[in-house]
A and B are shown apart, each in its own frame.
Chain A
Amino acid sequence: MATAVAAADTFPRLLAAHARERGASPAIREKDLGIWQSWTWAGMAQEVRLLAAGLAARGFTRGMHLAVIGDNRPRLYFAQLATQSLGGIPVPFYQDAPAPEMTYVFQNAEIEIAIVEDQEQADKLFEILPQCPKLRHIFYDDPRGFRHYKRDELASYDSLRAEGEAWAKDHPDFLDQVVAQGKGSDTAIMLYTSGTTGMPKGVVLSYDNLINTSRAYAELEGLRDDEEVLAYLPMAWIGQNLFSYAQWLVTGFRINCPESAETVITDMREIGPTYYFAPPRVLEALLTQVTIRMEDAGSVKRWLYRYFMGVARHVGGRLLDGAPVSFLDRTLYVLGQAFIYGPLRNTLGMTRIRVAYTAGEAIGPDLFVFYRSLGINLKQIYGQTETCVMVCVQPNGQVKPDTVGPPMKGVEIRLQENGEIVLKSPGLFVEYHQNPEATREAKDADGWYHTGDAGYFDADGHLKIIDRAKDVGKLQDGTLFAPKYLENKLKFFTAIKEAVAFGDGRPEATAMINIDMQAVGDWAERRGIAYSGYQDLAAKPQVYELVRECVEKVNADLAADPKLARSQIHRFVVLHKELDADDGELTRTRKVRRRYIAEKYEGVIHALYTGADHCWVEAEMRFEDGRTGKVRAQLAVREAKTFAPQAAARAA
């Protein structure tokens, strides 16, 4: 890395350094009208300069916030850079957020200027304008549909740029002056966290946070300036901001904006990213697509796919980890590479991937292993907006599906009494914007950040995340009980849609299970099991048998885990109805509301712990039109086999 880039401590300085050192090489591309259009580092620096001048002409100065709303578009990236060049703070929004949810952020951050992608976003801002009197200017990128708008607040990106061009002539060195005033501890960006309770909180991140984190990742993975990255996740998400923005400016690689949200898969194939980031749901959607297309393929192809994917599951991960593999297995894997893995990776656009990360939620082991067995170096990382995603990352060669790896360099982790992870990290946020109370709650006086997650280190020093700390309880014998961990393990089976585990203050763990109508329905049809509806299907002995197998697999897994071996599920019921947000059993984001369920299904839980072989439930159901009805059903309670803890020796 050249010195000017290595020494730069703010994004505007990094931009200037890249424009000097690799001015002619492409920095950002966008597919538009079917062609990849690109901007070089020098070209982009010029764009940013003009835009910054335009903003300055409109009275935007150091310390002010600016809203950026839209899909990944080069001009929105320029807008972020221009804001930062002036010492201002960009606040990116989720482009699909409804207007009322934006109001609070506009008020909280006292935003005066917004740069938006298109008419859709501008309309939302006009809707909330009466509640946000500070908002003065809205600039749009795509002019489509604006022809008849007569609003003083509205102007196009192009006109702002033109204003900037004129203004820059009168103030030739304005940019150098403001950039020179910047320092690493300045606020670089503000990201609002969704906030499951109360109002969203603005997480203030400094240049130091983002740049140190990016440098740590670059060093860890050996990132170079010739990486190709697809910028396709929401700009308001920390993952996108770190891996496709901060990392981009630190390393000097290329980012590529897809044509539209629907074309991401095709665009990814064309670009062939080398460095890739995807939350589990994206990886899952890709796998589903592959599976469906394979079902439609001819019998020879299907056989080849099944056979070689079996080989890959067995061999691929070990090859990636550099573990010993027999000659025969190696040969089979090479054949599989020619027939299946190579073409499949190509279809997925993953041929050139050197490092891929996933984060955001727990990833199912099958899903994770699928990608790794194809030879894609997919790794889990752990972190939150508040830590710039700089906590743990799985090291090359030591990837375990159920841990997130050891702490990164410079990160200190302590585990609290209740298993809560508290940490210090170079990426640790400055504060919550205008919310000292929340800041104090999250970051104690000594600077330790309380994540709210519970976990523990395994024998190799890898962190294992098990649950939210407030949900973690203890069995009667005092061993750790993490309901969400069990529930996630259960939910990774396609047959199980939702699960609720009980065990806090009890002698052993039990579970209530919801089957997945689609998956189990298909399964039943293929076996010629007739059923009349959800309730009937859920009560079938064969379905109970299917669920019991899943529970026992989970138990076998748990038995191998020294800390959680006692949490094996002894008894379970399959519920007669789906847990539903309309009935208050789940939140709108499909999280289980434990306390409410424990009250509502008291009878069922009683049966789970008294050894009864069935119980009656009567539940009120709310139909979609608002009427309520009662459902009465008999539920069978079944035992599941548990296993003796195996790894006791390793635990010490």
Chain B
Amino acid sequence: MTAPARAFGDVILEVEGISLAFGGVKALTDISFDVREHEIRAIIGPNGAGKSSMLNVINGVYHPQKGTITYRGEARAAMEPHHAARNGIARTFQSLALFKGMSVLDNLLAGRNLMIRSNILLQALRIGPALREEVHHRRRVEEIIDFLEIQHVRKTPVGRLPYGLQKRVDLGRALAAEPKVLLLDEPMAGMNVEEKQDMCRFILDVNDEFGTTIVLIEHDMGVVMDLSDRVVVLDYGRMIGDGTPEEIRNNQSVIDAYLGVKH
């Protein structure tokens, strides 16, 4: 079954003229691109191209020296992590950000902590609104567990799970925050073919069912070309291409960056 031509919304996130340097090392130079609502946007490039730095700029871990980030119509010189999180930007990490000793369920509940309204005393006493709220949060988390098909490990400590499943839980943890924009840092790294296929399906389903906008960094070219609506290519901190997978495939500077140039 092929999906009909996908319709995208307005620009939800735009970066303009971003430059980031650590001392004399220029990580990013004058990067501009936009992300539209509901699309899957990939950032690719060889090692050290500045992909993770770009993601870190978007969610406020790094503050660029130049440029602006416009998120949902609000322009800023730099994001702050808590601001990003409160306004619907969630991310997964290349090296996983999970509490290894806690169960899958508790990890996902932890992912919702920004949404918990009742104070610590009410929660401790488990009365009235706190209890109702907890039931609500648990339900949302159970929906994510069902969605990601991890019911069988619900109560298993995350540290005991195989790596591919931990990656899935990390995705679940990010989803628990009900993000508008989801940043995925190499979601397929270290996975076998079957796990990659599963992950692709989940990413597409998240995008489709929840309407979440997705920005992802990935090394696996096959995955990127199949999954993404538009692709940004970075090389040595510069943007050398931006377009649909088809356009990127035929872009001479991208081919040069990946395959090398004859001298």
Chain A interface residues (CB < 8 Å from chain B): 32-35, 123, 126, 144-145, 147-149, 259-260, 262-263, 266
Proximity bits, B1-25, A CB within 8 Å = 1, else 0: 1011000000000000000000000
Note all chain B residues with C-beta closer than 8 A to A32: 146
9-residue interface stretch from B74-82, B114-122, B147-155: B147-155
Given A33-B139, A33-B146, A263 and B152 contact (CB-CB distance below 8 Å): yes
- CB pair B208 A147 closer than 8 Å: yes
Taking CB atoms, residues of chain A closer than 8 Å to B216 are none
Could you pull out 10 A-B pairs where Cβ atoms are within 8 angstroms? A33-B139, A33-B145, A33-B146, A34-B154, A144-B147, A147-B208, A148-B1, A148-B3, A260-B149, A262-B151
Q: How far is the CA of A380 from the CA of B65 in the complex (A)?
A: 76
B143: interface (CB < 8 Å)? yes
| Interface of A (DSSP majority class) | loop
CA–CA, A34 to B135, complex, Å?
12
Out of A33, A123, A148, A263, which one reaches B143, CB within 8 Å?
Answer: A33
Please report the C-alpha to C-alpha distance between residue A263 and residue B145 in the assembled complex, in whole angstroms: 13
| B151 x A259 contact (CB < 8 A) | yes
Residues of B close to A149: CB separation below 8 A: 1
Q: Are B142 and A144 in contact (CB under 8 A)?
A: no
Shortest distance from the beta carbon of A125 to any chain B beta carbon, whole Å: 12
With A145-B205, A148-B208, A262-B151 known, 8 other A-B pairs at CB within 8 A are A33-B145, A34-B151, A34-B154, A35-B142, A144-B209, A262-B152, A263-B152, A266-B155
Give every chain A residue within 8 A of B143 (Cβ-Cβ).
33
- Taken together as a complex, chains A and B put the C-alpha atoms of A262 and B147 apart, in Å, by 15
CB contacts (< 8 Å) of A148 on chain B: these are 1, 3-4, 208
* Chain B count of residues within 8 A CB distance of the other chain: 18
Name the contact of A123 in the complex, choosing from B1, B3, B147, B208 (C-beta under 8 A).
Answer: B1
Residues of chain B touching chain A, judged by Cβ–Cβ distance below 8 Å, are 1, 3-4, 138-139, 142-143, 145-147, 149, 151-152, 154-155, 205, 208-209
Please, which residue of chain B has its CB at the minimum distance from the CB of A258?
B151
A262, B152: Cα distance in complex, Å: 6
Cβ contacts under 8 Å, A33 to chain B: 139, 142-143, 145-146
Contacts of A263 in B (CB 8 A): 151-152
- Complex formed: what's the CA distance from A34 to B153 in Å? 12
Report whether B142 and A34 are in contact in the complex, using a CB–CB cutoff of 8 Å. yes
> 7 tightest CB-CB pairs across the interface, nearest first?
A262-B152, A33-B142, A148-B3, A34-B142, A263-B152, A259-B151, A263-B151
Closest residue of chain B to A150 (Cβ to Cβ) is B4
Residue of B146, B152, B209 most packed against chain A (CB within 10 A) = B152
Query: CA of A32 to CA of B1 in the docked complex: distance in angstroms?
Result: 28
- A582 CB to nearest B CB, Å: 23
Closest A residue, CB atoms, query B3: A148
Bound Cα distance A260, B150 (Å): 10
Q: Are A266 and B205 in contact (CB under 8 A)?
A: no
State in angstroms the CA–CA spacing of A259 and B149 once bound together. 10
